[in-house]
């Protein structure tokens, strides 16, 4: 695929803080892989600076950017067009700068979550049995949206703050059953998949308070956290014989969708890339 010579090959991630982000490592790997002389950079944008930063993308020659904490919600009211997926999920992860300078926003996190599960566990199916989703923040919205799009037949959603889980069930519709936080342990009864989408277990946070005695040994345990690569929840699941998938692949697998929008190229997710990312995270 030839990229028009006037198509900028500058991309980046806007966040605050942002310097810890592994996105540049990943996208610069793909620029190399595709033989393109471009650059993906950290864009350290404070909360109040988002609108000016997004508007500056076009004059600075950027093809687009990714968004991370705390910008995923605020960007929705700044860009010129928000697609239906980002509207449904209620957050934006990717911005495309069009030729006329207008800004288009979408969300690829759900694609990353599904792409990762499919690559890591090829036999996995969303309709293979009940799915327990623990947590109801921004990551949960993308995960629930993806599971529903993939044909999930039953999602048991539990969150410390019940109202947030109920809002997801109402916004997304479909077979989502909200259960009280106190019932999270029993919610694992007979599930085919359990996903941690809380921030519990992340570096600096206590482990997720979830007993696994009801979790079938055949169930897949997934986490969307990737620092550390193996959270205490995943370690406990692995120790009792469950298959596990960490959150790194969710980050990696949303990348090709962004590239398709920015450059009409689909870069390849390779084992070498995953290993490089793992080494970088393990080195923290
Ligand atoms: N792999 C990826 O590409 C990817 C993408 C997105 C997010 N993530 C990761 O996913 C995690 C969640 O991110 P997010 O954006 O969804 O965050 P968020 O919107 O802030 O949501 C945080 C979630 O954690 C729950 N929580 C926080 N403290 C808790 C506690 N003490 N006990 C029980 N639940 C607690 C919250 O419950 P309440 O509603 O009750 O506060 C909420 O459900 C983060 O670690 C983030 O790095 C990874």
Q: What is the 201 CA–ligand 1 centroid distance (Å)?
A: 10
Question: Which atom of ligand 1 approaches the CA of 161 most closely?
Answer: 40
Nearest CA to ligand 1 atom 6: 139
Question: Which atom of ligand 1 approaches the CA of 226 most closely?
Answer: 1
Q: What is the 245 CA–ligand 1 centroid distance (Å)?
A: 17
Three-state secondary structure readout of 106-147: ECCHHHHHHHHHHHHCCCCCCCCCCEEEECCCHHHHHHHHHH
Angle at 118 between CA 86 and CA 207, to 5 degrees: 75
Q: Which pLDDT score is estimated for 283?
A: 83
The 10s digit of each residue's pLDDT in 243-272 is 999 999 999 999 999 999 999 999 999 999
Nearest CA to ligand 1 atom 9: 225
Question: Using 50, 70 and 90 to split pLDDT, how confident is the model at 96?
Answer: very high
Q: Is the CB of 202 under 6 A from ligand 1?
A: yes
Distance CA 48, CA 68 (A): 14
Active site residue 72: yes
The 10s digit of each residue's pLDDT in 106-138 is 999 999 999 999 999 999 999 999 999 999 999
């Amino acid at each position: 695929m030839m990229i028009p010579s006037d198509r900028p090959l500058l991309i980046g991630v806007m966040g605050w803080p942002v310097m810890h982000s592994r996105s540049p490592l990943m996208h610069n790997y793909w620029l190399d892989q595709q033989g393109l002389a471009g650059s993906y950079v950290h864009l350290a944008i404070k909360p109040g600076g988002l609108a000016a930063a997004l508007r500056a993308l076009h004059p600075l020659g950027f093809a687009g950017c990714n968004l991370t904490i705390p910008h995923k919600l605020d960007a929705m009211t700044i860009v010129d067009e928000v697609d239906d997926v980002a509207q449904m999920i209620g957050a934006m992860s990717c911005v495309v700068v069009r030729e006329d300078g207008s800004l288009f926003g979408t969300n690829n996190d759900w694609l990353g979550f599904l792409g990762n599960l499919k690559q890591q566990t090829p036999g996995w199916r969303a309709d293979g049995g009940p799915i327990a989703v623990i947590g109801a923040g921004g990551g949960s919205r993308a995960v629930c949206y993806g599971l529903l799009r993939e044909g999930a037949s039953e999602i048991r959603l539990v969150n410390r703050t019940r109202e947030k889980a109920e809002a997801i069930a109402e916004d997304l519709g479909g077979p989502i059953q909200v259960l009280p936080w106190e019932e999270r342990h029993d919610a694992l009864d007979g599930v085919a998949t359990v996903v941690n989408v809380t921030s519990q277990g992340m570096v600096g946070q206590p482990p997720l308070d979830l007993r696994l005695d009801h979790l079938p040994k055949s169930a897949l345990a997934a986490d969307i956290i990737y620092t550390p690569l193996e959270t205490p929840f995943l370690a406990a699941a692995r120790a009792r014989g469950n298959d596990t998938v960490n959150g790194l692949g969710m980050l990696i697998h949303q990348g090709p969708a962004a590239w398709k929008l920015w450059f009409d190229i689909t870069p390849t997710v390779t084992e070498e890339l995953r290993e490089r990312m793992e080494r970088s995270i393990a080195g923290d």
